[in-house]
Amino acid sequence: MPRKICVVESILNISAYRFVALNDTAQWRESIRSQAGRAGLKGTVLLADEGINLVLAGAEPGVRDFVQWLTAHESFAALPLKESWSSDVPFGKLLVKVKPEIIRMNHPTIRPQAGRAPAVDARTLARWLDAGVDDAGRQVVTLDTRNAFEVDHGRFKGAHDWRIDRFSDFPQALEQHRAELAGKTVVSYCTGGIRCEKAALLMAQAGVENVLQLEGGILHYFEEAGGKHFEGDCFVFDARRTLSDTLVPVPTA
């Protein structure tokens, strides 16, 4: 009989973001680069005046030590981490960068660090999608705020998909499609929550009523509700490419 090969998923992957006012991004860049490098981590950390966005991977002890160090600082104490496992580190190097925005929208009036958009948790959204309406009886629709090629790997069934090429296209797409959202409860979603948070704030500013973001995005939804109402897999921007609803890499053909 052929010998069964067991793949050990020993690499811990973390992703997180937090919109928080940062006045010392250059200093944070050096401190984070030093701590993450010492822990043997690879991936990307983006810093801006509006906050932090990170995806990192490495051996579990190093990841845990880095997280303990980072969250000991008041600015990042409430950092909501998402975890998954892989057999290899899906990043080639460590990058720590300072950017104008941690997720580029090119819309300076949208400032999540000054106040979050209202959110709905995964299990409540799953229940609403079961019924087709929210607790107030309004029709519930999901709105995918990701790039078109990401949506093609998987999305919520029946989600609005405006075929944008990059997130900075979202404001213009909203102008073109705003009327189709009228009278409905709109739940914006993305991979981990960062894009749908900005999108929800922009829609509210544009006069769309009853707008919510999906708390933690698709990855947190998979943790809490599995793949219910979701078709396909979730694209991620690393060597794993896509994750299933159990948060494991999907084998390529």
| Type of residue numbered 214 | L
- Which domains are seen in the chain, by residue range? 11-98 (3.30.70.100), 112-243 (3.40.250.10)
Average pLDDT over residues 157-161: 98
Torsion sign over Cα 12, 188, 186, 215: positive
Rounded distance, CA 135 to CA 155, Å? 23
Residue 150 has pLDDT above 60, yes or no: yes
Per-residue model confidence as pLDDT tens digits over 101-149? 999 999 999 999 999 999 999 999 999 999 999 999 999 999 999 999 9
Which residues are the active-site residues? Answer: 190
Rounded distance, CA 105 to CA 85, Å? 30
Per-residue model confidence as pLDDT tens digits over 168-222? 999 999 999 999 999 999 999 999 999 999 999 999 999 999 999 999 999 999 9
Coil, helix or strand at residue 166: coil
Per-residue model confidence as pLDDT tens digits over 8-34? 579 999 999 999 999 999 999 999 999
pLDDT of residue 8: 57
Residue 208 makes CB contacts below 8 A (sequence gap 6+) with: 174, 178, 181, 182, 186
